[in-house]
Amino acid sequence: MLLISCPNCGSRDETEFHYGGQAHVPYPENPDELTDRQWAEFLFYRDNTKGSFAERWLHSTGCRQWFNMLRDTVTYDIQAIYPMGAPRPAPNTDQPADFGTASLAPDSTTTGTTGPSVASTDLGPAEPAATAPKGATQ
């Protein structure tokens, strides 16, 4: 269960909210001039981001207001909540993801990302995913 901080009502359970899909998808300025392909992309094509994702939420059983949320789709960490129409804030890069690649390295005794730069070797072409489980790297 996510605990979502509604800008009007404060922290409430996820069940009081409805998800509204990807944020910042502007309505085309001249819909008549779009090709079918472009129109379909506006209507149906959405990002499937792994990591920070800007999305819309509605507090449907509370104040019934929409707001935007920046959420990590892997860790479910809510990084920012901001009003509709506001630009997307910069993702919080200080906070490393909770799933570590370092802890699985043979020479690592640490967890998380506090260890030596094992993560960078994980991504190197010479050692393809030998030390990281599938889907563990970003």
Q: If binding is defined by CB under 8 A, does position 5 make contact with another protein?
A: no
Say how far apart CA 109 and CA 131 lie, in whole Å.
14
Q: How many residues bind another protein (CB under 8 A)?
A: 12
Distance (Å, whole) CA 117 – CA 113: 8
Identified binder of another protein from the candidate list 34, 63, 74, 97, rule CB under 8 A: 63
Q: Does 10 bind another protein (CB under 8 A)?
A: yes
| Among 49, 58, 62, 89, interactor with another protein by CB under 8 A | 62
Give the span between the Cα atoms of 95 and 52, in whole angstroms: 12
Which of residues 27, 37, 64, 106 is near another protein by CB under 8 A?
64
Residues in the chain, how many?
138
Give the C-alpha distances (Å, rounded to integers) separating 106 from 11, 63, 101.
41, 51, 11
Interface mask toward another protein for 12-51; x: CB under 8 A: xx-xx-----------------------------------
d(CA 104, CA 128): 14
Residues 85-104, interacting with another protein (CB under 8 A): none
Binding site for another protein (CB under 8 A): 8-10, 12-13, 15-16, 61-65
